[in-house]
Structure 1
Amino acid sequence: MNSIIWPEKYTPATTDNFVSNEVIVAGLTAKEIWTYLTDTSWWPGYYENVSDIRFYDATGPQLAANSRFRFTTFSFPVEAQVTEFVPPAEGQPARLAWRGWVDGDEQSALDVLHAWLIEDLSGGRVRILTQESQLGKPAQQLAATTPNPMLNAHQAWLDGLAKTALAQKAERA
């Protein structure tokens, strides 16, 4: 299986907080998942921890290479820019990543990289992996909380994404 490509600054185990979530789902393809991940108008319907999604360019609500957008999550107004955008292709996993940041002082500033990898597996299955690496005092506070709220929220995001893709596929059938 493939893995996330990390810029050195965000290498897991060197940052203040890191979480990794994964699901493997039967009956879906990477292309089907990609549709509901890259169209941010679907996000609030399957992930309750996101709101106020706005784009700074004409690409929205579809994410694209270098899209500049903002959204609210964990009560943080996050500025973001897509840094990796590779749609699924035969024999190649889909990759999506954005750098997110919250401006502020030493106590409130946050810098993150949120990455996704979606790959088709044998037997009509798809693997959805999302990982996030964070820097800053708020990240340290999240990491010190048990259970880690990001771990649980990102699992809800994955589960909601897969459930939505399955439901939409069933509607089209």
Structure 2
Amino acid sequence: MNAIHWPEGYISGFCDNFASNEMIVTGVTVEALWRQLTHTDAWPGYYSNVADIHFHDGSGPVLSSGARFRFSTFGFPIEAEITEFVAPEAGQPARIAWHGWVEGDENTRLDVHHAWLFEELSGGRVRLLTQETQNGKPARDLAGTRPNPMINGHQEWLDGLIATAKA
């Protein structure tokens, strides 16, 4: 199976916080899942932990390579820029990733790399993998929280994404 492409400074195991969620499902296509994730106006309909999505250049609501957008999640106002955008194509996984950040000082600054991978598997199965690495004091605080809000939140995102794409 394929893996996430990690940029320098965001490699899991060397960051302040890491979350990984994966599901393998049937009854849905990579294209349907991709459509739901890249259309940010759909997010609030299936993921309760996101709000206030805006694009800086008016290009939204559909994500694209290099797009700059912002949204609120986990109580943070996230600025984000798409750093990887590989649309579904036969024989290769679809990939999307963004660098996200919250401006601030050493106690409030947060930097994240959030990546998604959609992969066709044998037998009509689709693998969805989302992983996020984070750096900064807020990330260290989240890493010690139980239950882990990042893993639970991202699982809700995956569950909602799958259910909406199947509908």
Asked if TM exceeds 0.5, the reply is yes
User: Equivalent residue for 1:128?
Assistant: 128
Within 5 Å, give how 1:39-118 maps onto structure 2: 39-118=39-118
5+ residue gaps, structure 2: none
Whole-Å separation in 2 of the counterparts to 1:78 and 1:58? 17
SS in 1 for 2:146: coil
Whole-Å separation in 1 of the counterparts to 2:64 and 2:13? 29
Whole-Å separation in 2 of the counterparts to 1:104 and 1:151? 24
Q: Deviation of residue 39 (structure 1)?
A: 0.3
| Structural RMSD (CA) | 0.6
Q: 4+ residue runs of structure 1 moved beyond 2 angstroms?
A: none
SS in 2 for 1:9: coil
5+ residue gaps, structure 1: 168-173
Q: Deviation of residue 29 (structure 1)?
A: 1.4
TM-score (normalised: structure 1) = 0.95
Whole-Å separation in 2 of the counterparts to 1:78 and 1:8? 20
Q: Deviation of residue 68 (structure 1)?
A: 0.2
Q: Deviation of residue 53 (structure 1)?
A: 0.1
Q: Deviation of residue 58 (structure 1)?
A: 3.3
Whole-Å separation in 1 of the counterparts to 2:30 and 2:118? 6
Whole-Å separation in 2 of the counterparts to 1:23 and 1:45? 20
